[in-house]
Chains A and B, each alone.
Chain A
Amino acid sequence: MAERTPWSLSGALRGMFAKRTIDQDTWDDLETALITGDFGIDVTDEIVGDLRSKVARYNTTDPKDLQRMLRETLEERFSKLDSTLKLTERPAIVLVVGVNGVGKTTTIGKFAKFLANYNRTVVVGAADTFRAAAVEQVATWAERAGAHIVRPQQEGQDPASVAFQTVEYAKRNNIEIAIIDTAGRLQTKGGLMDELTKIRRVIEKQAPVSEVLLVLDATTGQNGLLQAEAFIEHAGVTGLVLTKLDGSAKAGFVLAVQERTGIPIKLIGQGEGINDLTGFTPHVFVQNLIG
Chain B
Amino acid sequence: MATFGNLSDRLAETFRNLRTKGKLSPADVDTTVREIRRALLDADVALEVVKDFTGKVRERALGDEVNKALNPAQQVVQIVNEELIAILGGEARKIQFAKKPPTIIMLAGLQGAGKTTLAGKLAKWLAKQQHTPLLVAADLQRPNAVQQLQVVAGQAGVAVYAPEPGNGVGNPVTVARDSIKWAIDKQYDVVIVDTAGRLGVDADMMKQAADIRKAVQPDEVLFVIDAMIGQDAVATAKAFQDGVDFTGVVLTKLDGDARGGAALSVASVTGRPIIFASTGESLDDFEPFHPDRMASRILDLGDILTLIEQAQGAFDEEEAAKVAEKFRTDSFTLDDFLGQMQQLRGAGSLKKMIGMLPGAGAMKEQLNNFDEREIVRTEAIIQSMTKAERTNPKLLNGSRRVRIARGSGMTVTDVNQLVQRFEQASKMMKTVAKGGVPQIPGMGPMVGAGFAGGRGKKVQAKKGSKSGNPAKRAAQNAAIASGEKLPGAGGAEAGAPAGSGFGLGGGRGSAPAGGPSEKELESLQKFLGR
- A-B contact list, 9 entries, CB within 8 Å: A37-B231, A40-B42, A103-B112, A133-B150, A219-B110, A219-B236, A222-B44, A248-B232, A272-B141
B257, A226: Cβ atoms closer than 8 Å: yes
How close is B165's CB to chain A, nearest CB, in angstroms?
Answer: 11
How close is B184's CB to chain A, nearest CB, in angstroms?
Answer: 28
Q: Is A191 an interface residue (CB 8 A)?
A: yes
A187, B257: Cβ atoms closer than 8 Å: yes
Q: Is A23 an interface residue (CB 8 A)?
A: no
A4, B201: Cβ atoms closer than 8 Å: yes
A1, B226: Cβ atoms closer than 8 Å: no
Instruction: Enumerate chain A residues within 8 angstroms of B368, measured Cβ to Cβ.
Output: 190
Q: Is B356 an interface residue (CB 8 A)?
A: no
Q: Is A141 an interface residue (CB 8 A)?
A: yes
Q: A40, A109, A187 — which one has the most chain B CB atoms within 10 A of its CB?
A: A40
Q: B199, B257, B351 — which one has the most chain A CB atoms within 10 A of its CB?
A: B199
A2, B230: Cβ atoms closer than 8 Å: no
A221, B44: Cβ atoms closer than 8 Å: yes
Instruction: Enumerate chain A residues within 8 angstroms of B13, measured Cβ to Cβ.
Output: none
Q: Is B38 an interface residue (CB 8 A)?
A: yes
B232, A186: Cβ atoms closer than 8 Å: no
B228, A221: Cβ atoms closer than 8 Å: yes
Q: Is A82 an interface residue (CB 8 A)?
A: no
In the complex, which residues 354-385 of chain B have their Cβ closer than 8 Å to any Cβ of chain A?
Answer: 355, 368, 371-372
Q: Contact partner of A225 among B3, B43, B202, B232, CB < 8 A?
A: B3
Q: Is B235 an interface residue (CB 8 A)?
A: yes
Q: Is B144 an interface residue (CB 8 A)?
A: yes
Known pairs A36-B231, A186-B255, A248-B235; list 6 more (Cβ under 8 Å). Answer: A35-B47, A38-B44, A132-B148, A222-B44, A248-B201, A272-B111
Instruction: Enumerate chain A residues within 8 angstroms of B149, measured Cβ to Cβ.
Output: 132
Instruction: Enumerate chain A residues within 8 angstroms of B142, measured Cβ to Cβ.
Output: 137
CA distance A161 to B200 in the complex (A): 39
Instruction: Enumerate chain B residues within 8 angstroms of A101, measured Cβ to Cβ.
Output: 111-114, 226, 253
B231, A35: Cβ atoms closer than 8 Å: yes
- Contact string, A16-55, partner B, CB cutoff 8 A, digits 1/0? 0000000000000000100111101100000000000000
In the complex, which residues 206-258 of chain A have their Cβ closer than 8 Å to any Cβ of chain B?
Answer: 217-227, 229, 244, 246-250, 253
Q: Is B487 an interface residue (CB 8 A)?
A: no
How close is B426's CB to chain A, nearest CB, in angstroms?
Answer: 29
- Contact string, B112-149, partner A, CB cutoff 8 A, digits 1/0? 11101000000000000000000000000111110111
Q: Contact partner of A35 among B41, B200, B204, CB < 8 A?
A: B41
CA distance A36 to B48 in the complex (A): 9
Instruction: Enumerate chain B residues within 8 angstroms of A32, measured Cβ to Cβ.
Output: 47
In the complex, which residues 107-163 of chain A have their Cβ closer than 8 Å to any Cβ of chain B?
Answer: 109, 130-134, 136-137, 140-141
Q: Is A188 an interface residue (CB 8 A)?
A: yes
Residues of B within 8 A of A (CB): 1, 3-4, 38, 41-44, 46-47, 110-114, 116, 141-145, 147-152, 155, 167, 199-204, 226, 228-233, 235-236, 239, 253, 255-259, 261-262, 281, 349, 351, 355, 368, 371-372
Q: B144, B151, B204 — which one has the most chain A CB atoms within 10 A of its CB?
A: B144
What are the nearest 7 A-B pairs in CB distance? A221-B230, A101-B112, A221-B44, A132-B151, A249-B232, A133-B148, A140-B143
Interface band, chain A = 35 or more
A250, B232: Cβ atoms closer than 8 Å: yes
A217, B112: Cβ atoms closer than 8 Å: yes
Q: Is A92 an interface residue (CB 8 A)?
A: no
Interface SS of chain A: loop
Q: Contact partner of B256 among A99, A109, A222, A248, CB < 8 A?
A: A99
A188, B167: Cβ atoms closer than 8 Å: no
Q: Contact partner of B200 among A36, A41, A248, CB < 8 A?
A: A248
CA distance A130 to B280 in the complex (A): 13
A247, B112: Cβ atoms closer than 8 Å: no
B232, A136: Cβ atoms closer than 8 Å: no
Instruction: Enumerate chain B residues within 8 angstroms of A4, measured Cβ to Cβ.
Output: 201-203
Instruction: Enumerate chain B residues within 8 angstroms of A1, measured Cβ to Cβ.
Output: 202, 204
Q: Contact partner of B1 among A41, A226, A272, CB < 8 A?
A: A226
B1, A222: Cβ atoms closer than 8 Å: no
CA distance A247 to B109 in the complex (A): 12
How close is A139's CB to chain B, nearest CB, in angstroms?
Answer: 8
How close is B9's CB to chain A, nearest CB, in angstroms?
Answer: 16
CA distance A218 to B114 in the complex (A): 16
Closest B residue, CB atoms, query A36: B231
CA distance A176 to B230 in the complex (A): 38
Closest B residue, CB atoms, query A144: B143
Closest A residue, CB atoms, query B51: A32
Instruction: Enumerate chain A residues within 8 angstroms of B113, measured Cβ to Cβ.
Output: 101
Instruction: Enumerate chain B residues within 8 angstroms of A229, measured Cβ to Cβ.
Output: 1
Q: Is A265 an interface residue (CB 8 A)?
A: no
Q: Is A102 an interface residue (CB 8 A)?
A: yes
Instruction: Enumerate chain B residues within 8 angstroms of A7, measured Cβ to Cβ.
Output: 201
B229, A219: Cβ atoms closer than 8 Å: yes
B144, A99: Cβ atoms closer than 8 Å: no
Q: Is A100 an interface residue (CB 8 A)?
A: yes
Q: A7, A133, A140 — which one has the most chain B CB atoms within 10 A of its CB?
A: A133
How close is B251's CB to chain A, nearest CB, in angstroms?
Answer: 13
Instruction: Enumerate chain A residues within 8 angstroms of B150, measured Cβ to Cβ.
Output: 133
CA distance A191 to B374 in the complex (A): 13
Q: Is A5 an interface residue (CB 8 A)?
A: yes
B110, A133: Cβ atoms closer than 8 Å: no
Instruction: Enumerate chain A residues within 8 angstroms of B257, measured Cβ to Cβ.
Output: 187-188, 223, 226
How close is B111's CB to chain A, nearest CB, in angstroms?
Answer: 7
B236, A136: Cβ atoms closer than 8 Å: no
A249, B147: Cβ atoms closer than 8 Å: no
How close is B160's CB to chain A, nearest CB, in angstroms?
Answer: 12
CA distance A102 to B258 in the complex (A): 15
- Contact string, A93-106, partner B, CB cutoff 8 A, digits 1/0? 00000011111010
B111, A248: Cβ atoms closer than 8 Å: no
CA distance A38 to B167 in the complex (A): 33
CA distance A101 to B42 in the complex (A): 22
Instruction: Enumerate chain B residues within 8 angstroms of A227, measured Cβ to Cβ.
Output: 228
Closest A residue, CB atoms, query B262: A221
CA distance A130 to B262 in the complex (A): 28
- Contact string, A63-81, partner B, CB cutoff 8 A, digits 1/0? 0000000000000000000
A247, B148: Cβ atoms closer than 8 Å: no
Instruction: Enumerate chain A residues within 8 angstroms of B110, measured Cβ to Cβ.
Output: 219, 244, 247
B201, A132: Cβ atoms closer than 8 Å: no
Closest B residue, CB atoms, query A183: B281
How close is A194's CB to chain B, nearest CB, in angstroms?
Answer: 9
A248, B114: Cβ atoms closer than 8 Å: no
